[in-house]
């Protein structure tokens, strides 16, 4: 786990240096969790809907091969051109080639976590092409030269004053104006120009229907539609797990997605792209990037059911108090922590440990991914594959020796209430982190075992 | 070819087939409630006018909008004298449209969404690029849930593009403050139409 | 009814009074309780840290100590959940299965097995329940706020039987306190922040005592409370149910 960048715990510690800001971040996301609860309670069949969505997705996992072929065939019949990318690099190359064919140097993109995962923007920048992110939150973090900190709320970590500053610098708004209405209007004007000028638009995909070959893209802002309908070339990038079997299944997922994400009944726009408009090219890039491997991991394949609603982040007490960037991955939070190790186990070995395993994530998940169970299982795999720190491993072995031998346990405990001294010792960084902001219980005169022996003699 | 290697890996790794669940218990046929629909659209930031004739549209527009220079009406009966020749072009010709009045096929009471397709709007970008959007939908075409929508009305796609629109475009990306009018229409008016006997 | 008492390691070492209260409560309720000497730990600290493969020794000890009881009861939801989910021993799988099926956290043993409907306990104080996650979301001791499902709470059901006790309402009924096993030291900053926030919720709502079914969470909260020189105290639910 020795990396170039800091691990989650240290990044989270940095985030916690400003406690009022942590409180603000926590309260903002908790408010969204409460909105989700409120709207879920307005649907009496909510839990059955979750179960149904989970089962549809299970059917998808078991038939993904055939569904992808069916989707490809239908999409081609609809007039789309389908590309397949084994990994991020191939995805980026396909997109670059399409852009070079068009000779464009600047284009618009609506929200796509897949392109974040593939690091498309920096790749295209290296090749002289500028991507303009058009989701307001994504545009804000792009101007700040930061990655999104949340998959649905990309700049949830930013204060409006900071956004006002950014807009002042980049869009020429008056200094000191941090009114969300005013700033949104400024972004609308700025991005309208981009939409009008752009000849190519990249969008993500929320759902791709095998039966019809169509793709559904959900936004509140209308940016995907503004981009795609004005462009000569629409490039839709999607992970292969976005497939659903039939059109009627959209009914289930569209009921769950926005309610789980932000507590809205549905996003403002749920756009169904089937065939390109007259004279337009529609390219669909199907990306694997580790998904077929994850499909083969029985303990982890359910993570592919994810519909990217972000509910697990909003409910996660650790995410709320450590911020999205502490996960140093395109997808943060509990779901990011179970997806990332599949991409690079060593790089993301810290993430499954960035959880108390409280289980709230699994309960809000609209497709019932057993997120906290998978976090536990990743911990085992990461340790077995040799990615645990040596000091931690040594501590665990020492702990095991004591706990496996009653005699040794009794002596160790008797000598100095061993247990809580061993816990911190496995960190081995010269100080005992328990005591930084906490006291230890005063050691009692005798252990329970000793008391029992005296008071309940056989 | 990555296509073959991806498909081979999937075939090799995918779990056993499991049957698709039945969805029919979620259906609520013939229970679409226009009043409930109206309430949801309003909570989404839209405004709803109940009308008995298309002739009521013009005075309502005159009353509720100012500075309308260019209005597109899909049916002449919605607004006599609206813009003509607006269909020709790649969509950019609509950049200066202030209001578009379009028909919706049906509405969904549970979420205030209205189904609109390319067949009606002709130019896909119209409902998005217009500064303000008005949709005419018949009160008899209000369904209860999304399941009813997909299983009763749009079982198969009938055009190259279709969209559910629920309320005006919006964002809450700046400190979760809700702002109407992100990139799409800044306002949404629904004319809920019940023909007078 | 022969009950094997499982007292997790940190309770044995640091909170013997919780073990004593549990034993005395069960005895008062007519159970034949035995504490098998030589027990150590359920193995959870290692397993949750990614070292489940090292827990064979703990598992074997556990089965040897508890295979011959009708029920196994422990004052810790977290340890009970770990045993329920992970106790397996080669060659002793039948005994392990018996234990997994017959192990209970104290409160659920009282409500579900003993079906306790009144207690002679008195505790005239304002009390907040810290709903520990493993007991709640793992064992189902109380309804989870995330689910659209009818509310219930076994600990609350028991505390309502205590004379003079006033339960306070929390702003966040079941948020994690941030203990999380070794998380409490590996992720010290977030762990403590979570603990401070839980405490603030109890304090702001007038709690004199914070109680719960997991001493590990309470130890973490107590550690922060003491550092803050707070007057608020923590007590395991057994201590309240056993108070006269």
> Which of the four pLDDT bands, split at 50, 70 and 90, describes residue A150?
very high
CA dihedral A386, A391, A397, A402 (to 10 degrees): -160
Does the CB of C133 have a partner CB in chain A at under 8 Å? Answer: yes
Name the strand (E) or helix (H) holding A251: helix A249-262
In angstroms, rounded to a whole number, what is the distance separating the alpha carbons of residues A427 and C182? 9
To test the contact with chain C by mutation, choose from A396, A416, A430, A438 the residue with the greatest count of C C-beta atoms within 10 A, namely: A438
**Whole-angstrom distance, CA of residue A185 vs CA of residue A187:** 5
- More confident of the two residues B27 and A432: B27
Query: Distance between CA A322 and CA A436 in Å, rounded?
Result: 18
**pLDDT tens across C212-233, in order?**
999 999 999 999 999 999 999 9
Average pLDDT for chain C:
96
A228 CB-contact burial (10 Å; exposed 0-12 / middle 13-18 / buried 19+): buried
Which tokens is A381 given? 């795999």
pLDDT at A110 over 90: yes
Residue count of chain B, please give it.
Answer: 197
**Position A296 in a domain:** no
Taking the Cβ of residue B24 and every Cβ of chain A, the question of whether any pair is shorter than 8 Å is answered with no
**Mean pLDDT along residues A392-420:** 70
The label of the residue with tokens 């800044």 reads B186
* Number of domains within chain A: 3
In a domain, A129, yes or no: yes
pLDDT digits (tens, 9 = 90+) for A168-190: 999 999 999 999 999 999 999 99
pLDDT tens, B116-130?
999 999 999 999 999
In contact, C164 and C123? CB cutoff 8 Å: yes
Q: Are B142 and B106 in contact (CB under 8 A)?
A: yes
Any chain B CB within 8 A of the CB of A422?
no
CA B99 vs CA A220, A457, B96, B169: distances in Å: 19, 89, 9, 14
The runs of H, that is alpha helices, within chain C are 9-14, 16-28, 44-46, 56-66, 77-86, 93-102, 106-108, 133, 154-159, 183-186, 188-204, 215-227, 237-241
Given a cut of 90, whether residue A123 has pLDDT beyond it is yes
- B-proximal residues of A, 29-68, CB under 8 Å: 31-32, 45, 48-49, 51-52, 55-56, 58-59, 61-65, 68
pLDDT at site A404: 78
Q: Which residues contact A241 (CB under 8 A, 6 or more apart)?
A: A60, A61, A64, A291, A304, A305, A306
Say if C154 is an interface residue toward chain A (CB within 8 Å).
Answer: no
Write out residues 56-75 of B within 8 Å (CB-CB) of A. Answer: none
Tell me, what's the ipTM?
0.98
pLDDT tier at C45, thresholds 50, 70, 90: confident
CA distance C56 to A411: 21
Q: Output the DSSP codes for C206-223.
A: T-SEEEESBHHHHHHHHH
Average pLDDT of span A26-48: 98
How many angstroms away from the CA of B7 is the closest CA of chain A?
6
In whole numbers, what is the pLDDT of chain A averaged over residues?
Answer: 93
A1 falls within a domain: yes
CA A262, A376, C42 angle in degrees (round to 5)? 130
A424, pLDDT greater than 90: no
- Taking the Cβ of residue A446 and every Cβ of chain C, the question of whether any pair is shorter than 8 Å is answered with yes
- What is the signed CA dihedral for A22, A23, A25, A28, rounded to 10 degrees? 180
What is the pLDDT, as a whole number, of residue A415? 41
Per-residue pLDDT for A2 more than 50? no
Give the residue from A354, A388, A422 where a domain finishes.
A388
Domain assignment present for residue A423? The answer is yes
For an interface test with C, the pick among A315, A401, A403 (most C C-beta atoms closer than 10 Å) comes out as A403
With CB atoms and an 8 Å threshold, state whether A380 touches C148. no
Write out the H or E segment, with its range, that includes residue C110: none
The residue among A388, A422, A438 that closes a domain is: A388
Q: Which of A54-63, A307-316, B134-143, C178-187 has the lowest mean pLDDT?
A: C178-187
CB-based contact A277 B160, cutoff 8 Å: yes
Where along chain C do its domains lie? Answer: 2-113, 126-241
Residues A276 and A346 in one domain: no
pLDDT at position C62 over 80: yes
Residue C158 has pLDDT above 70, yes or no: yes
- Same domain as A410, residue A343: no
Residue A146 lies in a domain: yes
The two three-digit tokens of residue C56, written as one number: 């064979």
Same domain, A333 and A277: no
B1 contacts in chain A (CB < 8 Å): 84
Least Cα separation, residue C151 to chain A (angstroms): 13
**Secondary element (H or E) of residue B47:** strand B47-51
Q: Name the residue of chain A whose CA is nearest to B23's CA.
A: A52
User: Could you tell me the residue range of the domain that residue A401 belongs to?
Assistant: 395-455
Q: How many CB pairs under 8 A join A and C?
A: 230
Pair A143, A253 in one domain: yes
* Domains in chain B: ranges and CATH: 31-193 (3.40.50.10420)
Q: How far is A96 from chain C (nearest CA, A)?
A: 41
- Of the pLDDT bands very low, low, confident and very high (cuts 50, 70, 90), residue A397 is confident
The whole-angstrom separation of Cα A312 and Cα B98 is: 40
User: Is the minimum CB–CB distance between A201 and chain B shorter than 8 Å?
Assistant: no
- Shared domain for A409 and A344, answered yes or no, is no
- The residue from A262, A289, A316 where one domain ends is A289
Residue A421 banded pLDDT, cuts 50, 70, 90: low
Q: Is the dihedral of CA A51, A56, A61, A63 positive or negative?
A: positive
Tell me, yes or no, whether A320 and A444 share the same domain: no
A131 lies in the same domain as A228: yes
Q: A–B contact (≥3 CB pairs within 8 Å)? A: yes
Which of B13, B18, B181 is opposite residue A59, by nearest beta carbon? B18
**Mean pLDDT over each residue of chain B, to the nearest integer:** 97
Q: Are the C-beta atoms of A331 and A113 separated by less than 8 Å? A: yes
The token duo for C11 is 């309770």
A431 pLDDT band, cuts 50/70/90, is low
Fold classification of C126-241 is: Rossmann fold (3.40.50)
CA distance A32 to A417: 43
* C50 in A contact zone (CB under 8 Å): yes
How far, in Å, CA of A355 to CA of C134, rounded? 13
Q: With beta carbons less than 8 A apart as the criterion, state whether B109 and B144 touch.
A: yes
CA distance A117 to A98: 19
pLDDT at A413: 60
CA C241 to chain centre: 13
pLDDT at position C11: 93
Q: For residue A201, what are the contacts with CB-CB under 8 A and spacing of at least 6?
A: A107, A108, A109, A110, A224, A227, A228, A230, A231, A233, A234, A235
**For the segment A178-222, what is each residue's pLDDT rounded down to a tens digit?**
999 999 999 999 999 999 999 999 999 999 999 999 999 999 999
Average the pLDDT over A82-107 and give the result. Answer: 98
Place of tokens 């247990």: A419
C148 and A40 within 8 Å at the Cβ level: the answer is yes
Closest CA to A360 of C174, B95, C203, C5: C174
Is residue A302 within 8 angstroms of chain B, CB to CB? no
pLDDT at A409: 75
Please give the pLDDT value at position A412. 66
Q: Residue A41 and residue C148: Cβ atoms within 8 Å?
A: yes
Given a cut of 80, whether residue A417 has pLDDT beyond it is no
Segment (H or E) for A58: helix A46-62
* Same domain, yes or no: A198 and A275: yes
- Chain C interface, best mutation among A1, A325, A400, by max C CB count within 10 A: A400
Quick check: A30 and C172 CB within 8 A? yes
CB burial of A241-255 (b: ≥16 within 10 Å; e: otherwise) equals bbbbbbbbbbbbbbb
Nearest CA in chain A to B129: A226
User: In this model, does residue A1 exceed pLDDT 50?
Assistant: no
- Whether A332 is in a domain gets the answer yes
Say how far residue B193 (Cα) sits from the centre of its chain: 15
Q: Chain C closest CA to A248's CA: distance in Å?
A: 24
Lowest-pLDDT choice from A59-73, A323-337, A386-400: A386-400
Q: Which of the pair, B196 or C158, is modelled with greater confidence?
A: C158
Q: For the CA atoms of C224, C225, C228, C232, what is the dihedral angle to 10 degrees?
A: 170
- At A306 the three-state DSSP class reads coil
* Alpha-carbon distance A155 to nearest alpha carbon in chain C (angstroms): 21
Neighbours of chain A (3+ CB pairs under 8 A): B, C
**A427 CA to chain B: closest CA distance, Å?**
37
Cβ–Cβ below 8 Å for A379 and C223:
no
Residues 6+ apart with CB under 8 A from B6: A84, A86, A240, A286, A288, A292
In the prediction, which pLDDT does C135 show? Answer: 96
> Angle CA(A9)–CA(A10)–CA(A16) in degrees, nearest 5?
90
Over the stretch B67-98, which tens digit does the pLDDT of each residue have? 999 999 999 999 999 988 999 999 999 999 99
pLDDT greater than 70 at residue A422: no
Q: Yes or no: say if C87 and C66 are a contact pair by the CB < 8 Å rule.
A: no
Q: How many residues does chain C have?
A: 244
Q: Tokens 């070492």 — which residue?
A: C13
Angle at A136 between CA A133 and CA A139, to 5 degrees: 40
Compute how many other C-beta atoms are within 10 angstroms of the C-beta atom of residue A361: 30
| For helices A136-143 and A160-171, angle between their N-to-C axes, nearest 10 degrees | 70
C–B contact: 3+ Cβ pairs < 8 A: no
User: Do residue A417 and residue C14 have CB atoms under 8 angstroms apart?
Assistant: yes
Is the pLDDT score of A83 beyond 80?
Answer: yes
pLDDT for A433 equals 84
């Amino acid at each position: 786990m020795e990396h170039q960048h800091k691990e989650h715990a240290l990044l989270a510690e940095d985030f916690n240096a400003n406690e009022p800001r942590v409180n603000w971040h926590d309260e903002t996301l908790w408010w969204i969790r409460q909105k989700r609860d409120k709207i879920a309670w307005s649907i009496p069949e909510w839990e059955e809907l979750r179960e149904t969505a989970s089962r549809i997705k299970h059917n998808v996992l078991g038939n993904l091969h055939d569904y992808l072929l069916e989707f490809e065939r239908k999409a081609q019949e609809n007039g789309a051109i389908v590309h397949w990318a084994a990994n991020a690099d191939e995805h980026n190359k396909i997109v670059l080639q399409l852009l070079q064919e068009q000779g464009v140097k600047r284009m618009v993109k609506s929200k796509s976590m897949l392109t974040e995962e593939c690091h498309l923007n920096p790749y295209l920048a290296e090749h002289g092409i500028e991507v303009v992110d058009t989701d307001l939150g994504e545009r804000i973090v792009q101007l700040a030269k930061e990655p999104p900190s949340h998959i649905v709320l990309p700049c949830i970590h930013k204060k409006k004053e900071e956004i006002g500053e950014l807009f002042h610098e980049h869009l020429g708004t008056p200094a000191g104006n941090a009114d969300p209405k005013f700033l949104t209007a400024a972004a609308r004007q700025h991005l309208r120009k981009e939409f009008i000028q752009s000849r190519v638009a990249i969008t993500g995909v929320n759902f791709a229907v095998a039966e019809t070959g169509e793709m559904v893209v959900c936004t509140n802002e209308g940016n995907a539609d503004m981009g795609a309908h004005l462009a000569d070339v629409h490039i839709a990038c999607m992970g292969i797990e976005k497939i659903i079997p039939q059109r009627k299944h959209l009914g289930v997922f569209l009921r769950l997605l926005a309610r789980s994400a932000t507590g809205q009944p549905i996003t403002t726009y749920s756009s169904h792209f089937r065939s390109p408009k007259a004279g337009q090219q529609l390219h669909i890039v199907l990306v694997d990037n580790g998904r077929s491997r994850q499909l083969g991991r029985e303990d982890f394949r359910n993570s592919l059911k994810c519909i990217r609603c972000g509910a697990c982040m909003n409910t996660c007490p650790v995410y709320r108090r450590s911020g999205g960037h502490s996960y140093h991955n395109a997808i943060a939070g509990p779901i990011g922590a179970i997806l990332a190790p599949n991409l690079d186990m060593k790089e993301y070995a810290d993430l499954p440990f960035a959880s108390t395993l409280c289980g709230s994530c699994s309960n809000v998940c609209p497709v019932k991914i057993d997120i906290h169970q998978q976090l536990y299982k990743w911990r085992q795999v990461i340790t077995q594959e040799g990615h645990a720190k040596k000091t931690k491993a040594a501590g665990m072995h020492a702990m095991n020796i004591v706990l496996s031998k009653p005699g040794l346990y009794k002596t160790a405990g008797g000598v100095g209430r061993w247990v809580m001294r061993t816990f911190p010792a496995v960190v081995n960084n010269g100080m005992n982190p328990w005591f930084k902001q906490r006291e230890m219980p005063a050691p009692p005169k005798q252990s329970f075992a000793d008391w029992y022996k005296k008071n309940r003699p056989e | 070819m990555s296509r073959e290697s991806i498909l081979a890996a999937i075939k090799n790794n995918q779990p056993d087939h499991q049957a698709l669940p039945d969805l029919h218990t979620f259906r609520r046929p013939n229970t679409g409630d226009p009043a409930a629909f109206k309430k949801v659209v309003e909570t989404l930031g839209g405004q709803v006018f109940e009308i008995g004739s298309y002739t009521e549209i013009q005075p309502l527009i005159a009353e509720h909008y100012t500075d309308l220079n260019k209005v597109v009406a899909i049916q002449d009966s919605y607004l006599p004298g609206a813009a003509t020749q607006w269909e020709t072009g790649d969509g950019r010709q609509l950049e200066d449209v202030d209001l578009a009045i379009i028909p919706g096929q049906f509405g969904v009471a549970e979420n205030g969404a209205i189904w609109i397709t390319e067949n009606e709007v002709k130019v896909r970008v119209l409902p998005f690029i217009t500064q303000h959007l008005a949709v005419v939908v018949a009160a008899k075409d209000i369904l209860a849930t999304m399941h009813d929508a997909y299983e009763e009305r749009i079982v198969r796609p009938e055009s190259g593009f279709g969209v559910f629109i629920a309320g005006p475009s919006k964002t809450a990306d700046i400190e979760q403050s809700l702002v109407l009018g992100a990139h799409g229409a800044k306002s949404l008016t629904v004319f809920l139409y019940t023909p007078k006997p | 009814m022969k009950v094997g008492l499982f007292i997790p390691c940190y309770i044995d070492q640091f909170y013997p009074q919780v073990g004593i209260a549990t034993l005395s409560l069960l005895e008062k309720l007519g159970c034949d309780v035995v504490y098998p000497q030589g027990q150590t730990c359920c193995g959870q600290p290692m397993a949750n840290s990614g070292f489940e493969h090292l827990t064979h020794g703990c598992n074997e000890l556990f089965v040897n100590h508890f295979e011959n009881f009708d029920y196994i009861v422990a004052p810790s939801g977290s340890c009970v959940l770990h045993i329920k989910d992970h106790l397996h021993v080669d060659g002793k799988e039948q005994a392990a299965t018996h234990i997994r099926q017959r192990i209970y956290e104290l409160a659920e043993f009282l409500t579900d097995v003993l079906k306790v409907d009144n207690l002679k306990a008195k505790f005239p104080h304002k009390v907040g329940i810290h709903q520990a996650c493993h007991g709640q979301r793992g064992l189902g001791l109380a309804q989870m706020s995330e689910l659209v499902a009818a509310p219930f709470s076994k600990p609350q059901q028991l505390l309502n039987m205590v004379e003079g006790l006033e339960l306070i309402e929390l702003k966040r009924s079941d948020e994690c306190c941030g203990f999380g096993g070794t998380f409490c030291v590996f992720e010290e900053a977030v762990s403590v922040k979570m603990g401070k926030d839980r405490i603030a919720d109890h304090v702001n709502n007038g709690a004199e005592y914070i109680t719960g079914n997991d001493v590990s969470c309470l130890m973490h909260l107590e550690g922060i409370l003491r550092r803050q020189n707070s007057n608020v105290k923590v007590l395991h639910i057994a201590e309240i149910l056993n108070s006269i």
